[in-house]
Structure formats: C-alpha cells, structure tokens
A and B are shown apart, each in its own frame.
Chain A
Amino acid sequence: MKLNRRLFMGGAAAGAAVATLSAPMAHASTNGKPRVVVIGGGAGGATAARYIAKDSNGEIDVTLVEPTRSYYTCFFSNLYMAGFRELGSIAHSYGKLASEFGVNVVHDWAVGIDREARTVTLAGGATLPYDRLILSPGIDFVDGAVEGWDVTQQNKMPHAYKAGSQSELLKAQIEAMPEGGTFAMVAPPNPFRCPPGPYERISMVAHILKEKNPTAKIIIADPKEKFSKMALFQEGWGRHYDGMIDWIGPDFGGGNVSVNPDTMTLTIDGEETKVDVCNVIPAMKAGRICEIAGITDGNWAPVNPHTMQSRVDENIHVLGDASHQGDMPKSGFAANSQAKVAAMAVRSALTGSKLFPAKFTNTCWSLIDADDGVKVGASYEATDEKIAKVDGFISQTGEDSALRKATYEESIGWYAGITSDMFG
C-alpha cells in the first residue's frame, strides 16, 4: 500500500481537536452499536479491549483479534528462563475477556486493513467492520538487521523476544551448553522493546550458568554506548557473576556483527568466535500490520499523544511498542498505560463519555540475581508534540539487600496486578 500521509491534529490544533472528539460521532454498524476492533492481545490490546468493554456497559461492540490462544507475557519470561517462574505462570487465556466482559475474541491473523471502507480482513477470510480500530501488534524484526540471521534461523539462534516457544527453546539451549561453553547475545540498537530486557536476560543466563556451568562465559555484542540501568547491571554483574560476562560495546566493534547459524559462529569486528548458544535480538520495527495499514513513518507508527490516534488516520489508535509517541520506553507497562488513555478517547468519541486529560506512567523492574531487584520509572503527560516525561526515579547502586528484595517482591505484585488489569 502506498503511503498517503495526512498528518492531522498537529501543533496547536490538537487541544481543540481533542475537545470536539467528546461529541458522539456518526457510525454505521449492523446492530446499531458502534464497533471497535482491536488487533493484538498483549499489554496494550487486551487492556484496551477490556477497558472499552467494561466501561461502555455494553454500548460498544468490542472484537479482539489475536492469533494465539494462550498469551505468554514477554515481561517475566527472563525469570522463567532462570527458573524463578514456571512457564504456566506467564501464560494467560482470553477466556475472561469473553465470558466476563463480553469481548468477542477471534483467534486469527489480521492480514489487511481498508482504511476507506473501515474494515479488517482476517487470514481466515472474514471481514470485520469498525468505527474505531486499535492496533497493538507489538514488534517485528527489521529484515537483514543482523548479517547472516533471519527468522528461518531462529531455531538455531533464537531471539526469544516474543515469549513462548522461543523462551523454552533458549532455556533448553542454555541448559544443554557444554561445560565451559560460550553464550553470546547480539543486542539490538535503539529503540527496541523492553530496554532493560537484554541485560536482565544476561543476568538470568549468568544465574543459571553460575549454578550449573560456572566456567561458562557470556559475550554481549552491543551497538549501543549505554543501556538501560547500565550502572545497576554492571555493579550487579561484578557482585554476583564476577569475570563471567564480557560486554563488548561499539568502541570495540559491538555494532559490527555477523553470525553464521550453520557453523555457530559470531563475528565481531572481523574476529570470529565459536559459540554454543547465540541469542540474536535484531533491530525492531512496528508489527507488520501497521505497515499494511499504511500508518508508519520509518519503522514506527506516529501517534497523537492526547489520544494515541494515528497521525495518519484518526479512526486508528496505535498502542505500545508499535507506536512512535515520545519519551515512554517500549514496555508492557507503557502499553497498558497508553491503552487506558486510548480506551477513554475511543469511548468518548463513540458514546460521548467524559474525556479526562491523558496521564501516563511506566515502571520497569529487572532482576539481577535471586532477590536482587532494581527498578526505573517515570510519569508522563501528553503535549501536542509528544508524550513528555514529567518526573522519574531509578534504583541506586549500593542499595542494601533488604531493599533489593523488597523491589523484587514489588515486581511480583506488579505482575499480578497488570496481568489481572489486562485479562480480568
């Protein structure tokens, strides 16, 4: 589809435009109710579907399109790999969204969007009309981002950046490493899903190896000068896994990498290394349905921060990792927060319910070793230009073990909280 970009609601007009949205819009549907279709059942989409269904008291028809029957959260999947969580504990069904909130859950792939006709086509052949469409597809990988790697190689060199079978595969490979073997990670460039994620994963891999294979080595090839919670991770790696982890930043060629899945080799700045496990996390882009819809600019879909509406099409809202919104990191917490703003805006547009000012929050917890949790977070507001950071905090180096344990326990509470906020 050719991109025909109509940037709407730019600049100073946005405030006024938000206000007019609170008047119900004309809509056409078969049963007289306005229809919302949500594509993607993760932290953004499941939350948006649930909030719209819950708060509209049956006045809005909500359909959620999600291919998987059982959703594995990416957050806490690193903890599963290290044995802190059972796989089942990060799996969630959509049953309650259907039975308690009346969401029509369709397990299928969305393969086409006709923005003029306002319809979504599914791989199974069905067509879903919508008055508002919410896209929360998460991420896909940029083709050719890591030389030698593509998705056909993901069994030999897993990304494990979409949780589920990939997480199981990577865990199995780590556990099967030969004594004194090498685990390598190719870390992604910014921006990417879950900024502390690769480094929490390194911590969890080190945790397993320290117990089962203490002479093993870990290499990270990283194209970034700095990464999220860098001082906290580096302090923790020194404290828990001294000498095991070798982080190779761009100054030492960490950004000049190729892999060969057949020979299980990783080449950093021309120097080839034989590795036993290679976790390739390529550069990312918005889930492909955003490209199909023709609402992307570069790799991501720009949105109006007040409502999360696409800058290209006001009938489409984009949530979470896929959106280009400003200062928020690409995280499940952020997607969940954005979903509530979008849900309010959608209800307001379709039923005339109250529209309150958008507020956003994010907190990311990471685990460095057993009971050694850290966190970073911030609050945000919507400006016409972007979602802008207001205030923030981060765990400090040198914190005592009681505080770190409490931070970890807090993350467990948060997991229970956000997953019940997503799935009911």
Chain B
Amino acid sequence: MKNSLGKKIATVLIFFSIVLLYGEGFTSNAMLNKKNAYIKEPVLLTFDINQTDHSKVMIFDFTLKESDAYEFHRLDAKEVDSYQKAKIHYTYLIYPLKSGVIDIGFQLIQKVTTKENVTYSFSGDRDNVKNITTTDTPIGLEPLQLTVKPLPEGTQLVGDFTLTHQIKTLEAHAYEPIPFNVEIKGEGYPPIVENIFVSKDDYTIFQEAPVANAIRTAENTYNTVIYSLALNAKKSFTLDEIEINSFNPTTQKSYILTIPKQEFKINPVADSALVDKVDSPAPLKATDWSWAGTLLGYIVVFFSGFLTAKSVQWHQKEKLRSDPFIEKITRTNDPKKLLSLLIAEDSKKFASAIEKLEAHLYSKKPLDLRAIKKELHA
C-alpha cells in the first residue's frame, strides 16, 4: 500500500516538464515523464493537440526537431478522426546523447482548410489523387528542457543486459575457421559496441556486422544483438578475457559483461595434404606474350574489314570499267559519234553533254571533249 502511494507521488513529481500552448483555434500540451536522465536512458515524451475552434477543418503536421543531443523514435500517434474536432496524442521515446541541459525542440505546422476542399480531394480515384488546398501556419513551440547526467567513465552499454557466447570448438586445424557467436540481450539503449573483437598477431578474427533486433515500448527498448565471428590461426592461441562495461540507469549501478578467456588448440596441417605445396610459387611463364596474340587478332580483323571495304570499291570500279556504255564513251574521240551514243541512251541526265556537243558541232563553239567524258564518267 505504501509502495503504491509512493509510486503515485513519484509519478506526479516526475511529470514536471509540461508546456501548454494556446494557438489559433487549438491547444497543445507537451510532457516528459522525467526531468533528469542519464545519457542513453529512455525518456517518454507525449504531445497532445486539441482543436478548440470547430468551425474549420484542421490538419496537423508534428515531429521533433532533429538534434545531435538526442535521438527519438515515434511510438504512436492516436488521432480522433474528425476534421473539425481534431484531437491527436503523440508518443515519443527519447534517448539523450549528451550530458548537461538539452533542449528538445518541436516542429508543428497547422493546416487549415474547408470541408469542401476535403470532399473534393476525396472525389478522385486512385490514379487521380488531388491535393487538399490548405493554409499552412508554422507554430512556434517552446522547447522542453531535460537535464542529462553523464555516465560513469568507461561505460560501453546502457541498460540491463545479459551476455551469452557460443564457441563451436576449441580445437581445429591450422587456418580452419572456428565459429564464435556472442549474444547480448536485455532492455536499454541498443547494445552495439564497436571494436570489441580485434585481431592479434597470433590469430585473425573475421566479423560480420552485428544483427540487431529492437522492440520499442513506452518504457524502454528490448534488444537482441548477435555478433557472428570466426577465428583462425596458424598455431595454438589464447583469446583473452573480454569485458564490456555497462551501466543500468534504473538501479544506477555499473556492471561488467564478460566473455571469459579461452584456450584454442590448433593442429598443424601436413604439407602433403595441401593443394598448393609451394609458398609463393614462381610464375608459370617468364614473360606473358598473350597480349601479342590479341594484338595480332585485332590487326587481322582490322585488315579483313579494310580489305573487304576496298574490294567492294575495286569491284565497283571494275564493274564501271566493264560497262559497255562507259567503255564506248572512253573509246570514242569523234564528237558526232559521242552525240549519237548519248542520244541513244534517251536519258535526261545526258542533256547537258548533248547540248555542249550540239553547240560545238552545229554552232562551231569550242569543245573540251575530255571534260565532257569526265562529266559522263562521274
């Protein structure tokens, strides 16, 4: 009974950080469930909007401001689905990341519209979406302040975690991989720790990115993080004890998660069993001349194409040479004979040559027979 009353009093005392705002036709109320917290300790933020002017349709666009002093996750946004009596309850889980007094900022945009605009926006079908026409007003909200306490020095994880590990074998052959799994479970800030496992001279660690699974609630985050590793070495080695310093903000106590020291026995492999028996073997060929073969191939292909194109040209020239009409023109040196040859062709394309020959033969004008023949050959 005492405990129950005490908890209630504590809860009332915790709800210190409250901001009330009377905006344009609505009220808003922001609240933190604690005023002081450790770094990475979960803090619950609730934000309520209540429309007071029911003559308009109001839509609200709310989020927290991004900051490197904290990280936040929206857990819920409950909305009463009535455009003129909007009532929205947002819930956020915040993890402070810096010590000292931090400001938790808000971004709120009030969008005012009419019932007709809303109806119109619904009148389209799926492939004809219409925007609601709204009058947007950014609302300035005072930030909430949170006092953040630093963690004890050397703390790597914050929360209540347990660690289990699994080693497949403690004895293996040289360079044979030894699978090794580490699982950290519990509630708190996600237990991702970098550089827990580091290779040393006498062994190598192969590590995948940790697989993290997190479920967020209003109280905290429940995490399961699995580190998948593999070890290998040439000789037997000892994996030193690994300690992860952790802090539980609920009990305000530090504790250590431990992976105990492990001895691994590595058996050497006989050289005769190896595929490659020589270490760093000499190259098979002294000089690689394969590029010369490729180059020769390209040259052959180039010349084949070139000669094919040329052969078409030669063939056309040969054909032209063997054309009886062209041959006759070439052989004829008598303008009259040439005129009769051109008339015989009955082609408009020789009209100009015919006129020149005609002018020479019947009007005694000078004639360049070679020029005419050249024109005809073209």
Q: Do chains A and B interact in one complex? A: no
Q: Which residues of A contact B (CB under 8 A)?
A: none
